[in-house]
Amino acid sequence: MGRTLPRYLHPGAWWVWALGMAAAASRTTNPLLLGLILAVTAFVVAARKPDAPWSRSFSVFLKLGLVVIAIRLVFQVALGSPVGEHVLFSLPVVPLPVWLASLRLGGDITAESIIFAACDGLRLAVLLACVGAANSLASPARLLKSMPAALYEVGVAVVVAMTFAPQLVTDLGRVRQARRLRGRTNKGLRGAGGAALPVLEGALDRAVTLASAMDSRGYGRSGQLPVRVRRLTVLLVLGGLLGVCIGLFGLLSADTSVFAGAPLLVLGLLAAFTGLWLGGRRSIRTRYRADPWELPEWLVSLCGLFAAAGVITAGIINPASVTISVVPLMWPALPVAALVGILLGALPAVLAPPLPAAAAVRRQPGSRAGAPVTRLAVDA
């Protein structure tokens, strides 16, 4: 399969795969397909997650997804309109002012409305899980190193924001363990409040330390470009990003045709890449040991794109197969095209190169014979 030596996959390939899985989830409300996407994503994360602090955030995104589903159900019960005829229970109707006549507070709660709200919340939860998978598989530092030169400053801000969740999880676990050793409780509001202050203090300390380190390393130095080139760069990048947003909306929205957004997406990508190439001439930053993009990266990226293409194809062939039918209430279908595409999304667990093992540090001269060998994890 090409290069099989142990190495870390390019972080961009993991993000392309994760965005492909997210695109597949955004095109369906079928709970069978959404559950399959979630299972495939969790399987790949379990198989390819490196042993690093930033790789432990996937469970946090799963818990956040459960919170999203719960909030969606609460809003449906409290404010949703009744759909269907299978009434589960009834709540007292709260009278509202005339200017809120379009809203309903209380009333009959039907099984159809609960199922529809649960599937809608599940779709957003799966999207969060895909983003969490990319955070757990791709190293933020290596992703920053692979950013285009024109987006380096923006990439720093994005990477710092991406590392917030993993660092928060690590700090929270350390604080909770320290509280347990001191005989304090971690349950309830008192436990959450006692752990929140040290975590916040640690986040502020890291921010100050990071700012000092960036300032001491001369961060922000740049070359000079003519005014016309800078204006053309800004115009191309902004216009390209606008075209990409409109094209992605046309591709991901189930209410529009796929072919309506594809031309705008292609033109937007071309304009954006041209602007990034022009803007990159302003950067004087160099790269050391750039991450390779070889056959495994192409295969992993294509697996995510195949998952999105499978769900989109199933929606074109039979739009009802990728949605949940609540009126009448029916068991969801399992389209073959979507099933095959999503299962292809699980292949990165096998196609990605093996992770590097811990590297043994050579014994220093003068150390005792038979002393235990210290092992250091290779930087992810």
pLDDT at 13 over 80: yes
Amino acid present at 118: A
How confident is the prediction for the chain on average, in pLDDT? 78
Q: How far is CA 20 from the centre of its chain?
A: 11
Per the DSSP assignment, residues forming a β-bridge with 376 are 359
**pLDDT at position 227:** 72
Residue 356, Cβ density class (10 Å: 0-12 exposed, 13-18 middle, ≥19 buried): middle
**pLDDT at position 61:** 92
**pLDDT at position 62:** 93
- pLDDT band at residue 252 under the 50/70/90 scheme: low
pLDDT at 351 over 80: yes
67: left (phi over 0), alpha (psi -120 to 50) or beta: alpha
Distance CA 111, CA 270 (A): 47
**pLDDT at position 217:** 72
**pLDDT at position 253:** 64
Distance CA 133, CA 140 (A): 13
Which of 258, 239, 237, 238 is CA-nearest to residue 248?
258
Which of 339, 331, 329 is CA-nearest to residue 306?
339
- pLDDT band at residue 306 under the 50/70/90 scheme: very high
Question: Pairing state of beta strands 107-110 and 87-91?
Answer: antiparallel
- pLDDT band at residue 246 under the 50/70/90 scheme: confident
Paired tokens of 195: 């752990």
pLDDT at 359 over 50: no
pLDDT at 270 over 90: no
Percent of the chain with pLDDT over 70: 77
pLDDT at 134 over 80: yes
**pLDDT at position 361:** 35
**pLDDT at position 277:** 72
pLDDT at 360 over 60: no
Distance CA 231, CA 250 (A): 29
Distance CA 124, CA 34 (A): 10
**pLDDT at position 283:** 60
> Which range is least confidently modeled, 111-120, 179-188, 195-204, 283-292?
283-292
Distance CA 116, CA 69 (A): 11
DSSP assignment of 214-257 equals: HHHTTTT------HHHHHHHHHHHHHHHHHHHHHHHHHH-TTS-
Which secondary-structure segment (H or E) carries 86? none
Do the beta carbons of residue 283 and residue 149 sit within 8 Å?
A: yes
- CA end-to-end span of the chain, whole Å? 23
**pLDDT at position 367:** 42
- pLDDT band at residue 130 under the 50/70/90 scheme: very high
Residue 40, Cβ density class (10 Å: 0-12 exposed, 13-18 middle, ≥19 buried): buried
Paired tokens of 88: 């589960």
**pLDDT at position 101:** 67
Percent of the chain with pLDDT over 90: 23
* Domain locations in the chain as residue ranges: 11-146+294-354, 225-282
> Which range is least confidently modeled, 3-17, 144-158, 174-188, 318-332?
144-158
Do the beta carbons of residue 78 and residue 113 sit within 8 Å?
A: no
pLDDT at 189 over 50: yes
Task: Give the model confidence (pLDDT) of 51-108 as tens digits.
Answer: 877 777 888 899 999 999 999 998 888 877 777 777 888 777 777 777 776 677 777 7
Do the beta carbons of residue 342 and residue 24 sit within 8 Å?
A: yes
256: left (phi over 0), alpha (psi -120 to 50) or beta: beta
> Which range is least confidently modeled, 214-223, 260-269, 295-304, 353-362?
353-362
Do the beta carbons of residue 247 and residue 262 sit within 8 Å?
A: yes
pLDDT at 157 over 80: no
Q: Is the pTM above the cut of 0.85?
A: no
Peptide bond into 140 cis (omega under 30): no
**pLDDT at position 258:** 57
Paired tokens of 372: 């235990």
Which secondary-structure segment (H or E) carries 297? helix 295-317
Task: Give the model confidence (pLDDT) of 32-49 as tens digits.
Answer: 999 999 999 999 999 998
**pLDDT at position 375:** 35
Rg (CA), the chain: 25
Helix axes 31-48, 11-26, angle to 10 degrees: 170
Higher-scoring residue by pLDDT: 102, 284: 102
**pLDDT at position 148:** 67
**pLDDT at position 139:** 81
Angle at 87 between CA 86 and CA 93, to 5 degrees: 150
> Which range is least confidently modeled, 18-32, 36-50, 52-66, 234-248?
234-248
Q: Which residues contact 183 (CB under 8 A, 6 or more apart)?
A: none
pLDDT at 259 over 70: no
